[in-house]
Amino acid sequence: MSERTLETLGKRFGPSYRWLVTITAIIGTLSTILASTIVNVALPDVMGAFGIGQDHAQLLSTGFLAAVTGTMLLNAWFTESFGYRATYAGAVVIFLTGSVVSGFAPNEGLLILGRILQGASAGMMQPLGTQIIFQVFPPEKRGSAMGIAAVGIVLAPALGPTLGGVMVDNYGWRSVFFLSVPPALIGVALAMVFMPDRAEDGPRRRFDAPGFALLLVALLALFTGLSSGQREGWGSNRVLVELGLAGLAAALFLGWEMRTPAPLMNPRVFANRGFAAAFAVALVYGASIFGTTYLIPLFVQTIQGYTATRAGLVLMPAGLIMVVVFPIAGRLADRIPVWQPVVAGLLLFALSCWLLRGVDTDTPFWTMALWIMVGRIGLGLTMPSMNAGALRALPPRFLGQGAGGINFARQFGGALGVNLLSVVLEQHTELHAQSLTPTQNPGNSGTQEFLRLTQGLLAQDGVPETERLAGAYNFLSRTLQAQSSMLAFRDSFLWVSIACALAVLPALATRRRAKPA
């Protein structure tokens, strides 16, 4: 039996121990969450540095989120087998390795590998806070502790893009990968003091290696197939093989999890209607919040010409408003039927994205920030009630599986959402370019006036007459590309709005009360 149990550490440090160990867990979680959002404002600079397109750049986000998804289900096994302290320290070592690899990466391949390592550590780290709170706080104080933890966790994505923008503008894009290193080091130092070891010395629970391997194959094949589809065409043999392999591995994973005595995620939880509905909502929730956090900085930098700092600032008010909304939403989840704030939140986010579909090059900063705030208020209302509704619907023996399943759904939805929105953005940019180009002909008076004015401006700049027409056509081509891209961003926001509106249907299914265990 280890001498560093929760009980012995509690006696050594007194009543303050519960807060000390909780803060230790939160610091580690903050580091990994900060890393998940801080890179979005650096994407245009990364694309320019390595000469890659948006289809490759999005792998920096989806690679991270896919790794989080894959390792999140391992957290329970790691903490049971090795204890909180070893799990925490191991996750931080992986995170620091990923940060160094990303920061010094000479090409996009190593950069993506570093992001995957960061995501793997985040998946191991993020559930620790909730587990610790349920271990050290009595039931009547868990709500307050979770509220404080949630405020801290929400601050990371609120401040991440802004801090990332400042770092990119002043120190270059590589600096963003080192911003999370100091808090991670502080966290591991505190963990050595306050985190408990494994409570028991008995045999470890068997690790579901076949299930984990099948899950990894399914995730890697799916996201590789979605990425390949943009480059090689959706009907190519490679894409069909990759997506087919993803479907086969997913089916085998579900079949294996039904039979194994120690599953990573028990498929039987989906037999409960309330949980299955909450799982579907969590998928859309993850896709919406991570997808728009990916799209918005990219839009304001590539279309509106914002600096990285300004791109981060446009997201900050929305993040800060969630700090206020989360505690209120937590109280509402205890006082009114959970489906009501979930439905209200989804509709608010659908409205936000419907407004964002009207963005253009002249949309003012505060108009954009206000539209984003509306959506974040909605997501702030949704999350606590979604989690509460999912777990209340389950009998006690499935609570651990349910908690892991909802987190898995949110992260998988985020990775899938970023990937799919990247596909929509790429395809719709091409579609709009194909529809706009034929309209630019000699019979179009607007086009002729544009070419005349552009040649006049080139003449003022001293461009030789023989080169002015070619220069005017080149500028017209770039203008059409920018217009096509702007219209594609609008379409992407519209798809998110439709998805949130459709998610109201499964949210309404949570009105049914869970049967007693």
Please give the full DSSP string across 90-158, using - where no structure is assigned: HHHHHHHHHHHHHHT-SSHHHHHHHHHHHHHHHHHHTTHHHHHHHHHS-HHHHHHHHHHHHHHHHHHHH
pLDDT 10s digits, 8-50: 887 888 888 888 888 888 888 888 878 877 777 788 888 888 8
Q: Stretch 369-374: mean pLDDT, rounded?
A: 92
Burial class from Cβ neighbours inside 10 Å (0-12, 13-18, 19+) for residue 288 reads buried
336-363: average pLDDT: 89
CA distances from 233 to 47, 225, 238, 490 (A): 22, 10, 9, 23
What is residue 203's DSSP assignment? Answer: P
Residue 514 pLDDT greater than 60, yes or no = no
pLDDT band at 353 (very low <50, low <70, confident <90, very high): very high
pLDDT band at 516 (very low <50, low <70, confident <90, very high): very low
Residue whose token pair is 């206020």: 324
Look at 53-57, 211-215, 246-250, 403-407 and tell me which has the smallest mean pLDDT. Answer: 53-57
Percentage of the chain surpassing pLDDT 90?
Answer: 12
Rounded CA-CA distance 67/46 in Å is 21
pLDDT band at 432 (very low <50, low <70, confident <90, very high): confident
Evaluate if residue 350 carries a pLDDT over 90: yes
H-run or E-run covering 329 = helix 308-335
Query: Which one is the CATH code of 1-206: 1.20.1250.20, 1.10.1060.10, 3.90.980.10, 2.60.40.10?
Result: 1.20.1250.20
Tell me how far apart the alpha carbons of residues 204 and 79 are, in angstroms, rounded to a whole number.
Answer: 10
Kindly report the pTM of this predicted structure.
Answer: 0.77
Domain 269-425+486-517 has CATH 2.40.50.140: no
Neighbouring C-alpha atoms within 13 Å toward the C-beta of 159:
13
Residue 222 in this model has a pLDDT that exceeds 50 = yes
Which of 273, 504, 289 is closest to 389 using CA atoms? 273
The two three-digit tokens of residue 283, written as one number: 């998928």
Confidence of residue 144 (pLDDT cuts 50, 70, 90): low
Q: What is the mean pLDDT of residues 149-157?
A: 66
What is the mean predicted confidence (pLDDT) over 312-328?
82
Confidence of residue 201 (pLDDT cuts 50, 70, 90): low
User: Quick one: pLDDT band at residue 515, thresholds 50, 70, 90?
Assistant: very low
Grade residue 496 by pLDDT with cuts at 50, 70 and 90: very high
**Residue linked to tokens 């959002």:** 37
Are 197 and 86 contacting, i.e. CB atoms less than 8 angstroms apart? yes
Query: Which of 123-132, 198-207, 209-218, 355-364 is predicted least confidently?
Result: 198-207
Q: Are 68 and 122 a contacting pair, CB within 8 Å?
A: yes
Judged against a pLDDT cut of 80, whether residue 127 lies above it is answered with no
What pLDDT score does 200 carry? Answer: 63
Nearest CA-CA partner of 178 in 163, 189, 191: 163
For 393-406, the pLDDT digits (tens) are: 677 667 667 767 77
Q: Looking at mean pLDDT, say which of 222-226, 270-274, 281-285 comes out highest.
A: 281-285
Strands, DSSP E only, in 208-300?
A: none
- Dihedral-angle region of residue 74 (phi above 0 means left; psi in -120 to 50 means alpha; beta otherwise): alpha
pLDDT beyond 90 at 126:
no
Query: What mean pLDDT is predicted for residues 485-497?
Result: 92
Q: How many CB atoms lie within 10 A of CB 112?
A: 20
Note the helical H segments in 14-103: 17-38, 43-50, 54-57, 59-72, 75-103
CB 106 within 8 A of CB 387: no
Task: Kindly tell me if the per-residue pLDDT of 231 is higher than 80.
Answer: no
* C-alpha to C-alpha distance for 419 and 221, rounded to whole angstroms: 13
Mean pLDDT of the chain, nearest integer: 82
pLDDT of residue 491: 93
Spell out where 193-262 has E strands.
none
- The per-residue pLDDT for 147 is 61
Residue 517: predicted pLDDT: 38
Residue 138 above 70 pLDDT? yes
